[in-house]
């Protein structure tokens, strides 16, 4: 990684017992790893503790001045006098109590600067701390309780002398913030000067040597310039890795697949029953130009639900077919694969085109699968639609020219690369698509190796989907929602009911059984969920698509890509259990046929709770890009990027995907310059990055 390395074993620098504890609870074994374990927040003398979101029983740290101190005997235990101290932290007055502590009685005198750590309580609305650990900050001291951990790393008074800012580190099991603080203080004392990784300090930023030290031990001006520099280095590391990926992709040779005036693509454009939107025309022009070159296209197409990405991808696939090449469409679920295969086939048939579409899934019967494989390897299949089964050994293409990946965030970089490698000597062009709008910071971070195209407008005839929140605490509203579904069915339309689970109360099976026996006993009610076999799911979806079912009770397997134009109403049950983007995706399953449509967000959440607020925000806007930013704000980039598996998140410890766009943008501009002018440096700086470090993982 770009920056600095300090591979000294931690046990050679700090006491062995504390080194073992840090390894046990944090998995950290080297000095460099410890220095990248950044404070979660800071205490600044006189500015007050942030008590927002803090509840009684939570442990807090308070830095303030003693205003008053009184000691009096306890009636129950005369030998344990009670010392009560008023402490003001610059914003809040805390009542602090000690029982039988002669040290507290002696040293906690008015005017002293003290740091307290203990469990917060409230009495008559006033914040209280009972017998907290503490340490004096303005003179001779001995720490109490957990704060004694600082003593393992040297003189506490010397360690805290002159500090206006105190770092607080995340407590992990039995490892407290003070142990980490003391260990980092010891490492910093022995840390050699850090050289600039670029050979110079970027304009306007703090030198890296100062930033690494000040992020843990800020001076009077605070830690913010240090944090800014380290954020820049994080973003630059990822940007360089993405730049190298882009450079490497451009070095490969791709088949030249120019637009053919007399080809199937041109014929489909002439015979479509609707005109392309301006945005679709622009994206098609970009893709047409990319595919005509012998440099592999690497393009991300993001678009609102229903913005017409599928027809754009079909035109691109026909451009490949027009040049004698095959196209592969990779989709995340078997339901979506079969949906795509049927939809593409019907579009081509209606246009009178002979293009051959073949589907391949893991659950196909052996004979059907063998037939599909033969058509793929012989070249009889022009367009191949499949799940990850396309990545398996034994799937060989005759002449693969274009790979289209639908719902890109379900697939990793390595999986995409595996499919591209199946083309043999040349690298096929790549188009990845997502209906989950991507916040702009993530777009340039996680997808920095791709050109980004965006479809914002809906095709003509599409009407905005009306949305409403249906709270369980308003029974009449819930009753009206069920009535509305019946009214839509009576008008000749169809409905979805989405449940958060399969079994149990409120699950698909229970809701379907109850509705079939009561409100909708005279309607055709179907069930769809992830435990069903592939052919069962396909049969249900096919039945629903042709109008054989009035109401489909389903889990989120219908979230992506399912296209039934006659469906005009959806009820999402217990919608507080779903994320912002997921609710927006589900809503996009209705309103696809030009009819006025409605999405009802049922919720068990009480008004004013985070869940209720989130659902209300989704209902209030249909702008997927605004909702993507809201999703990031609500859940944080850790969830959006994926946890545990995402190297991006391991690398971006400080970057805030909501607030730090300007820093990330600057880093990416600088990285592009470095990759162009000093590719050897860029490759060396990112040598330890792996492809899986750049996964944009599904959050569900």
Higher pLDDT, 688 or 487: 487
pLDDT higher than 90, residue 410: no
Name the least confident of 41-55, 274-288, 561-575.
41-55
* Rounded CA separation 381/375 (Å): 5
DSSP per-residue letters across 62-129: EEEEEEEEEEE--SS-TTS-EEEEEEE-SS-EEEEEEES-HHHHHH--TT-EEEEEEEEEEETTEEEE
DSSP state, residue 518: T
* Rounded CA separation 206/570 (Å): 53
pLDDT value at residue 409: 53
In this structure, the number of other CB atoms found within 10 A of the CB of residue 157 comes to 17
- Whether residue 200 lies inside any domain: the answer is yes
- Pair (29, 92) in one structural domain: no
- Which CATH number characterizes residue 388's domain? 3.40.50.300
- Whether residue 125 lies inside any domain: the answer is yes
CB 306 within 8 A of CB 274: no
pLDDT higher than 60, residue 59: yes
- Pair (605, 491) in one structural domain: yes
- Pair (503, 580) in one structural domain: yes
CB 336 within 8 A of CB 530: no
**Strand ordering across the sheet containing 357-360:** 357-360, 383-386, 326-330, 400-405, 429-434, 298-303, 451-455
DSSP state, residue 592: -
Show which of 588, 621, 654 is a domain's final residue.
621
pLDDT value at residue 522: 93
* Rounded CA separation 208/195 (Å): 7
Q: Read off the pLDDT band of 113 (50, 70, 90).
A: confident
Tens digit of pLDDT for each residue in 421-466?
665 678 899 998 887 777 777 777 767 767 888 888 776 666 778 9
pLDDT higher than 90, residue 185: yes
pLDDT value at residue 577: 93
pLDDT value at residue 32: 95
* Rounded CA separation 201/136 (Å): 38
pLDDT value at residue 501: 94
Q: Read off the pLDDT band of 82 (50, 70, 90).
A: very high
Helix, strand, coil percentages, rounded to 5, for the chain: 40, 20, 40
CB 297 within 8 A of CB 256: no
pLDDT higher than 70, residue 634: no
**Token couple for 308:** 């017409």
pLDDT value at residue 304: 73
pLDDT value at residue 345: 96
E strand residue ranges, 580-624: 598-603
pLDDT value at residue 558: 79
Q: Read off the pLDDT band of 249 (50, 70, 90).
A: confident
Burial label, 301 (beta-carbon count in 10 A; 0-12, 13-18, 19+):
buried
DSSP per-residue letters across 168-181: E---BTTB-HHHHH
Q: Read off the pLDDT band of 406 (50, 70, 90).
A: confident
State the average pLDDT for the chain.
86
CB 150 within 8 A of CB 181: yes
pLDDT value at residue 618: 93
Q: Read off the pLDDT band of 494 (50, 70, 90).
A: very high
pLDDT value at residue 86: 95
Q: Could you tell me which of 316, 307, 359 has the C-alpha nearest to residue 335?
A: 359
Mean pLDDT, range 86-96, rounded to an integer:
91
DSSP per-residue letters across 490-512: HTT-EEEEE-S-SSSTTSHHHHH
Tens digit of pLDDT for each residue in 357-366?
999 988 889 9
- Pair (295, 435) in one structural domain: yes
Residue 425 structural domain: 264-455
Q: How many domains does the chain have?
A: 4
- Pair (311, 375) in one structural domain: yes
Show which of 421, 455, 489 is a domain's final residue.
455
pLDDT value at residue 163: 79
pLDDT value at residue 642: 40
pLDDT value at residue 690: 55
């Amino acid at each position: 990684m770009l920056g600095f390395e300090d591979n000294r074993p931690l046990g050679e620098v700090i006491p062995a017992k504390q080194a073992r504890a840090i390894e046990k609870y944090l998995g950290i074994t080297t000095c460099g790893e410890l220095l990248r374990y950044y404070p979660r927040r800071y205490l600044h003398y006189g500015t007050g503790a942030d008590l927002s979101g803090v509840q009684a029983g939570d442990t807090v740290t308070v830095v303030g001045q003693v205003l008053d101190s009184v000691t009096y005997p306890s009636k129950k235990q005369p030998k344990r006098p009670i010392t009560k101290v008023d402490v003001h932290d610059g914003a809040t007055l805390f009542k602090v109590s000690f029982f039988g502590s002669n040290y507290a009685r002696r040293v906690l005198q008015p005017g002293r600067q003290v740091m307290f750590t203990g469990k917060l309580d409230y009495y008559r609305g006033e914040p209280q701390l009972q017998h907290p650990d503490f340490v004096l900050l303005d003179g001779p001291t001995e720490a109490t309780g957990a704060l004694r951990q600082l003593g393992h790393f040297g003189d506490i008074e010397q360690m805290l002398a002159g500090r206006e800012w105190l770092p607080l580190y995340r407590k992990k099991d039995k490892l407290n913030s003070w142990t980490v603080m003391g260990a980092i203080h010891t490492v910093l004392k022995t840390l050699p000067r850090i050289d600039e990784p670029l050979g110079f300090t970027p304009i306007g930023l703090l030198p890296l040597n100062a930033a690494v030290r000040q992020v843990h031990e800020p001076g009077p001006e605070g830690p913010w310039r240090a944090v800014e520099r380290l954020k820049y280095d994080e973003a630059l590391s990822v940007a360089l890795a993405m730049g190298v990926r882009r450079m490497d992709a451009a070095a490969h040779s791709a088949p030249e697949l120019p637009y053919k005036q007399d080809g199937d693509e041109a014929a489909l454009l002439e015979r479509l029953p609707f005109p392309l939107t301006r945005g679709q025309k622009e994206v098609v022009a970009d893709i047409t130009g990319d595919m005509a070159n012998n440099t592999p296209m690497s393009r991300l197409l993001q678009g609102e639900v229903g913005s017409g990405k599928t027809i754009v991808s079909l035109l691109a696939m026909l451009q490949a077919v027009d040049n004698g090449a095959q196209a592969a469409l990779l989709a995340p679920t078997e339901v979506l694969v079969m949906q795509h295969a049927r939809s593409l086939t019907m579009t081509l048939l209606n246009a009178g085109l002979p293009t051959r579409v073949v589907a391949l899934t893991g659950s196909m019967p052996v004979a059907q699968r063998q037939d599909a494989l033969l058509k793929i390897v012989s070249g009889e299949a022009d367009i191949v639609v499949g799940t990850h089964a396309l990545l398996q050994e034994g799937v060989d293409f005759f002449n693969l020219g274009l790979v289209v990946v639908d719902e890109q965030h379900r697939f990793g970089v390595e999986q995409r690369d595996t499919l591209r490698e199946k083309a043999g000597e040349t690298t096929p062009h790549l188009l990845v698509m997502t209906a989950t709008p991507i916040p702009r910071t993530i777009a340039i971070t996680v997808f920095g190796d791709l050109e980004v195209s965006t479809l914002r407008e809906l095709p003509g005839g599409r009407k905005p989907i009306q949305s409403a929140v249906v709270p369980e605490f308003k029974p009449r509203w819930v009753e009206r929602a069920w009535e509305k579904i019946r009214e839509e069915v009576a008008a000749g339309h169809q409905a979805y009911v989405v449940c958060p689970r399969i079994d149990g109360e409120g699950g698909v099976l229970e809701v379907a059984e109850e509705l079939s026996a009561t409100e909708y006993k005279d309607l055709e009610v179907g069930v769809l969920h992830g435990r069903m076999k592939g052919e069962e799911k396909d049969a249900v979806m096919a039945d629903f698509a042709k109008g054989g079912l009035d109401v489909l009770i389903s889990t989120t397997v219908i979230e992506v890509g399912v296209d039934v134009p006659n469906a005009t109403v959806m009820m999402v049950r217990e919608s507080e259990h779903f994320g912002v983007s997921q609710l927006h995706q589900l809503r996009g399953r209705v309103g696809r046929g030009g009819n006025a449509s409605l999405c009802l967000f049922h919720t068990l959440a009480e008004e004013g709770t985070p869940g209720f607020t989130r659902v209300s925000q989704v209902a209030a806007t249909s702008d997927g890009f605004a909702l993507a930013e809201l999703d990031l704000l609500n859940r944080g980039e850790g969830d959006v990027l994926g946890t545990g598996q995402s190297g991006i998140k391991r690398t971006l410890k400080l970057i805030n995907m909501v607030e730090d766009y300007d820093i990330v943008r600057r880093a990416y501009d600088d990285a592009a310059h470095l990759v162009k002018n000093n590719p050897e440096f860029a490759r060396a700086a990112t040598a330890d990055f792996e492809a899986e470090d750049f996964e944009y993982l599904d959050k569900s």
